[in-house]
Amino acid sequence: MESAFNSILLISGPHGVYEGVPPLVMAGFILVAGALIFLGIYLSKKRRDWLQHSVLTNGEVVEVSKRYERSDKLGQSPIFFPVVSFSVNGRQFKIEADKGMSMLSQVGQTMQVRYNPENPYDSALGERSIPGLNPSVFLILGIVLLCTSAMLMF
């Protein structure tokens, strides 16, 4: 009977006064938060540089891809992804929209395309669109983690 009682006490966890989060864990949180903030700043600078060096041109919708959300079991709300063709130095390039549109784009319709003149495959649809990850997600996560670790330290 006594051994069963001892095993229950062992399962219940440590006894005594809570002393807070160990410093090594806090250092890890701060390190990860700093890395996320640094990554967000780096990606933000990279996106600004890309926007400054990119060129804006007009492209033509050559086809429209129609897809459905997984939750749309009846197929009543299609999402349209236009494929736009544009020309750079006599060469044709195609780009498909990253984000779907609820309205159907017509084949032959003109759309703006922003591209990198050194690598036209690096392009995005729209005047202010930029390809790649959005840095605000990393910045927000890093700041939240940094604030949380600061609150746990004190």
- If we measure between CA atoms, which residue out of 89, 132, 94 comes closest to residue 113? 94
C-beta of residue 83 within 8 angstroms of C-beta of residue 62: yes
Residue 79 lies in a domain: yes
pLDDT at 134: 86
Give the length of the chain.
154
The residue behind tokens 């090594």 is 24
Residue 47 lies in a domain: no
Number of domains comprising the chain: 1
Distance CA 102, CA 18 (A): 54
- If we measure between CA atoms, which residue out of 138, 132, 135, 112 comes closest to residue 50? 132
Residue 145 lies in a domain: no
> Which string of DSSP letters, residue by residue, matches 111-132?
EEEEEETTEEEEEEESSS---S
**Res. 10: pLDDT tops 90:** no
Across all residues in the chain, what is the average pLDDT?
82
**Res. 75: pLDDT tops 80:** no
**Res. 9: pLDDT tops 60:** no
Residue 153 lies in a domain: no
Residue 80 lies in a domain: yes
pTM higher than 0.85, yes or no? no
pLDDT confidence tier of residue 2, bands split at 50, 70 and 90: low
Residue 50 lies in a domain: no
Distance CA 89, CA 9 (A): 76
* Model confidence pLDDT, tens digit, residues 100-130: 776 767 788 888 899 999 988 888 888 778 8
DSSP 71: T
Domain range for 85 is 55-125
Residue 76 lies in a domain: yes
pLDDT at 82: 87
